[in-house]
């Protein structure tokens, strides 16, 4: 325990326009007649991103982009009421914000992936500048009034108008001038704290020094790739090392040290930043909605859940259903621990992953390190491409000699199989390096949208991960969890790149925060299907040797092992999020988390931890929204049930999924997209069946 599910972090954080300006979801402006997204012009307009910036160039370009956008917004409001129309107000506003985000997203991105620390700093500073600009823009009454007076000419424009006005209204348009100025000030402060929080985590390179003996239980291949200083090994507590140690190291003290250091990354400062952010958010909610409201009210309004009472009821209901199964899972681990150590009386926080992995090996004769041998990264990615290509009717092609920010990064084109037209580009940045963003995520860099000349902008995205890197003697060998992460994050890439929505603010994964994970969560199911596992596996010494049938069968049988604990952990994070964001005043986030950990998980938290300081979701756009991971999985499993019944590799169902879900973006509410794909009302039946709950 101690780590959030890194598969969860999605592109939502990077849709800065959406994050700062547009509400997620909502029920407004939809009609079945408005689905024109599939008929948009397909002629490409291609732009790629740069990474070869000179010193201070990012700062200069960022400033120029914001300045140009501000001048265009000024031109909109300077039009007289008689001169205004839908083209020179709403659509001009949409185009202006799309242009500035397209220009600056690549600059911000360097803050997370560049190999140059100076460029990373400039990228982070640019992120703060752009975020501040968008916050101020979202609270401009003059823009709101110019746009509000317009009439949509068709259903697509009505959707954009409704969503844009709704966003402005949530950003204080009903406040008087004094309170609106206060709103902007509070949001700007909040934005700067979020940027600093991310920067602190990205620049944290915490590690422990251990002897060879203190790494007992770990695979020699893992140890060989560790840095060594004299007679000690340097173990960075990052995503590439943490799981292997917590699951396999038999030295309890080493696991304790790794967990403690991992849960104290940027601990003191980030804890302070989060607590300050919670207070600012509370003030914003009260300013906009009234003194009896809290941040969760403010954030959830307009999402699929509609209000915080629905979320609280959802979490409470799930807690009750999972409690007994979680106790059974932990009791099973305790009994196993007693078999290893008869004097054991309880499970410690640093025991859980280790005991679960060892018991999984014992019960199912599964060795994760043996499984890795059948998942060389190159074979997995090649198989992934084949699966997605067949299902969604696309073709992937590497671009040789592409200019990238690190030698191990690759650029790919996506073509439509029907007519071979170029649809999109995406970068693949799979392996860890110093200073790089240390989780797994999909970043939208250039949004899809209809351009003024009628062509469709070619979307550009990047998958960023920290998979097990190659060593001096071995290629990159992925754990099955990493394979699942690849399918999940690539699901986000598909959502971002296959979009045909006409407006950038409503394109790709710019959907309701409690729906955005559903398309990718659904695709995790593919790595548990025998026919897919056979396609994406191949022993690193001989790729023709697929995952053995008996091992494959054991993996599938073991899938539900400790499942209640996993979902209880997700429940904990969602409950922590809702707890701190339903408070009126200052919150001790560390004590709150520790109390909830003890109550919900049933294990004592490690002393001296500062878990909230590394819980990037709370400062990365998932505040009062983490519940969305479980909430959206209800829909994910429901969608998967159609593939399960009609064909896991069916290009017909895949094509309908592409059109109904992936291409549509936010041109309709998520619930209506689901109905379109499913042909019925959504249900939680498949989700509860997965959990073994009647």
The verdict on pTM exceeding 0.95 is no
Where do runs of H (alpha helix) occur along 114-210? 117-138, 141-148, 155-170, 177-202
How does residue 47 score in pLDDT terms, banded at 50, 70 and 90? confident
181: tokens are: 């100025």
Q: How far apart are CA 277 and CA 269, in angstroms?
A: 12
Instruction: Say if residues 112 and 464 touch (Cβ distance below 8 Å).
Output: yes
DSSP string, 47-101: ------PPTTHHHHHHHHHHHHHHHHHHHHHTS-TTT--TIIIIIHHHHHHHHHH
The residues annotated with a catalytic role in the active site are: 489
Give 470-526 pLDDT, tens digit per residue: 988 899 999 999 999 999 999 999 999 999 999 999 999 999 888 999 999 999 999
18 pLDDT higher than 80: no
Q: What pLDDT digit, counting tens, does each position of 328-351 carry?
A: 999 999 999 999 999 999 999 999
Among candidates 608, 160, 346, 677, which has minimal Cα distance to 593? 608
Cα separation of 525 and 527, whole Å? 6
* Residue 622 CA: distances (Å) to CA of 8, 297, 345, 616: 10, 14, 37, 9
Token digits of residue 144 = 């709101």
Given the DSSP bridges, would you call strands 207-210 and 232-236 parallel, antiparallel or unpaired? Answer: antiparallel
- Whose structure tokens read 């491409």? 385
d(CA 544, CA 532): 15
The pLDDT value recorded for residue 14 is 25
- The bridge status of strand 44-45 relative to strand 456-457 is parallel
CA–CA dist 216, 366 (Å, integer): 19
Query: Which pairing describes strands 227-229 and 232-236: parallel, antiparallel, or unpaired?
Result: antiparallel
Q: Which backbone phi and psi does 582 adopt, to 5 degrees?
A: -120, 20
Q: What is the sign, positive or negative, of the torsion defined by CA atoms of 152, 156, 162, 164?
A: negative
pLDDT one-digit tens code per residue, 604-650: 999 999 999 999 999 988 999 999 989 999 999 999 999 999 999 99
Which structure tokens are listed for 19? 């994050």
Q: What's the pLDDT score for residue 46?
A: 61
What 3-state class would DSSP assign to 248? helix
For 125-136, what is each residue's pLDDT tens digit? 999 899 889 988
Residue 40 has pLDDT above 70, yes or no: no
DSSP for 209-233?
A: EE-SGGGTTS-HHHHHTSEEETTEE
Sole residue written with tokens 């997995």: 380
**Per-residue pLDDT, 13:** 29
Report pLDDT for 45. 53
- Decide: 243 and 479 in contact? Cβ < 8 Å: yes
Please tell me which residue, 240 or 682, carries the higher pLDDT value.
682
Question: What's the rounded Cα separation, in Å, for the pair 329 and 118?
Answer: 47
Give the distance, in angstroms, between the CA of residue 649 and the centroid of all CA atoms in the same chain.
25
Pick from 383, 379, 384, 370: which is nearest to 552 by CA?
370
**C-beta of residue 1 within 8 angstroms of C-beta of residue 569:** yes
Confidence of residue 24 (pLDDT cuts 50, 70, 90): very low
Give the pLDDT of residue 11: 29
pLDDT band at 17 (very low <50, low <70, confident <90, very high): very low
List pLDDT tens digits, range 366-399: 888 899 999 999 999 999 999 999 999 999 999 9
> Phi-psi bin for 624: left (phi > 0), alpha (psi -120 to 50), beta?
left
Distances (CA, A) of 384 to 427, 532, 661: 15, 9, 20
657 CB-side CA count, 13 A: 29
**pLDDT higher than threshold 50 for residue 56:** yes
**Domains observed in the chain:** 15-36+51-202 (1.20.1050.40)
- Give the integer Cα–Cα distance in Å for 112 and 389: 29
The model's pLDDT over 57-85, given as tens digits with 9 standing for 90+, comes to 999 999 999 999 999 999 999 999 999 99
SS3 string of 310-350? HHHHHHHHHHHHHHHHHHHHHHHHHHHHHHHCCCCCCCCCC
Burial status of residue 566 (CB atoms within 10 A of its CB: 0-12, 13-18, 19 or more): middle
Is the pLDDT at 1 greater than 90? The verdict is no
Task: Put the strands of the sheet holding 394-398 in their side by side order.
Answer: 394-398, 410-416, 422-429, 460-464, 441-446
Greater confidence (41 vs 589) lies with: 589
Range with the poorest average pLDDT among 36-40, 41-45, 152-156: 36-40
Residue 180 confidence (pLDDT) above 50 = yes
Sign of CA dihedral 538, 541, 542, 543: positive
Question: Residues 200-216: pLDDT tens digits?
Answer: 988 888 999 999 999 99
């Amino acid at each position: 325990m101690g780590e959030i599910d890194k598969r969860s972090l999605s592109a939502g954080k990077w849709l800065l326009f959406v994050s700062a300006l547009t509400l997620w979801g909502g029920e407004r402006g939809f009609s079945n007649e408005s689905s024109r997204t599939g008929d948009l012009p397909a002629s490409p307009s291609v732009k790629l991103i740069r990474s070869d910036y000179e010193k201070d160039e990012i700062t200069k370009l960022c400033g120029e982009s914001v300045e140009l956008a501000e001048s265009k917004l000024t031109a909109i409001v300077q039009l007289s009421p008689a001169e205004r129309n839908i083209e020179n107000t709403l659509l001009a506003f949409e185009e202006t914000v799309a242009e500035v985000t397209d220009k600056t997203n690549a600059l911000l991105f360097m803050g997370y992936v560049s190999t140059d620390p100076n460029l990373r700093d400039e990228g982070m500073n640019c992120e703060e500048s752009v975020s501040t600009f968008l916050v101020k823009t979202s609270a401009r009454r003059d823009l709101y009034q110019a746009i509000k007076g317009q009439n949509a000419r068709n259903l697509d424009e009505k959707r954009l108008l409704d969503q844009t006005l709704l966003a402005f209204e949530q950003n204080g348009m009903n406040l008087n001038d004094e309170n609106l100025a206060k709103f902007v000030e509070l949001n700007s402060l909040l934005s700067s704290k979020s940027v600093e929080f991310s920067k602190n985590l990205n620049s944290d390179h915490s590690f422990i020094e251990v002897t060879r003996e203190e790494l007992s239980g770990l695979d020699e291949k893992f140890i060989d790739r560790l840095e060594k200083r004299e007679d000690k090994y340097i173990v960075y507590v990052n995503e590439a090392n943490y799981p292997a140690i917590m699951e396999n190291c038999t030295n309890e003290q080493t696991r304790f040290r790794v967990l403690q250091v991992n849960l104290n990354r940027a601990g003191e400062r980030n804890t302070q930043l989060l607590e300050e952010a919670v207070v600012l958010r509370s003030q914003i909610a009260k300013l906009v909605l009234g003194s009896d409201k809290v941040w969760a009210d403010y954030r959830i309004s307009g999402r699929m859940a509609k209000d915080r009472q629905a979320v609280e009821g959802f979490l409470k209901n799930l807690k009750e259903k999972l409690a007994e199964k979680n106790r059974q899972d932990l009791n099973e681990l305790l009994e196993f621990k007693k078999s290893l150590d008869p004097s054991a009386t309880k499970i410690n926080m640093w025991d859980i992953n280790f005991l679960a992995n060892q018991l999984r090996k014992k019960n199912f004769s599964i060795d994760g390190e043996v499984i890795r041998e059948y998942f060389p990264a190159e074979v997995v990615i090649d198989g992934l491409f084949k699966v997605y290509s067949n299902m969604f009717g696309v073709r992937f092609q590497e671009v040789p000699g592409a200019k990238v920010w690190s030698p191990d990064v690759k650029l790919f084109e996506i073509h439509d199989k029907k007519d071979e037209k170029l649809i999109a580009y995406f970068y693949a940045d799979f392996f860890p390096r110093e200073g790089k963003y240390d989780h797994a995520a999909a970043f939208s860099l250039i949004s899809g949208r209809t351009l003024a000349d009628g062509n469709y902008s070619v979307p550009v995205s990047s998958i960023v991960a920290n998979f097990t890197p190659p060593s001096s003697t071995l290629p990159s060998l992925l754990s099955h969890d990493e394979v699942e992460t690849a399918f999940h994050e690539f699901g986000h890439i598909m959502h971002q790149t296959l979009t045909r929505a006409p407006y950038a603010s409503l394109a790709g994964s710019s959907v309701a925060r409690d729906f955005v994970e559903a398309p990718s969560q659904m695709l995790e199911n593919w790595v548990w299907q025998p026919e897919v596992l056979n396609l994406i596996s191949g022993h690193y010494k001989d790729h023709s040797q697929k995952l053995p049938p008996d091992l494959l069968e054991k993996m599938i049988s073991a899938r539900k092992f400790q499942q209640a604990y996993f979902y209880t952990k997700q429940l904990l994070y969602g409950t922590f999020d809702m707890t701190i964001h339903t408070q009126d005043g200052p919150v001790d986030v560390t004590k709150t988390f520790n109390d909830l950990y003890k109550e919900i998980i049933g294990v004592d938290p490690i002393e001296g931890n500062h878990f909230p300081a590394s819980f990037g979701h709370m400062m990365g756009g998932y505040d009062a929204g983490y519940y969305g991971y479980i909430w959206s999985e209800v829909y994910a499993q429901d969608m998967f049930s159609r593939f399960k019944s009609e064909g896991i590799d069916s290009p017909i169902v895949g094509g309908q999924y592409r059109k109904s879900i992936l291409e549509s973006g936010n041109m309709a509410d998520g619930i209506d997209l689901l109905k379109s794909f499913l042909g019925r009302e959504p249900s939680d039946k498949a989700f509860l069946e997965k959990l073994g709950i009647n």
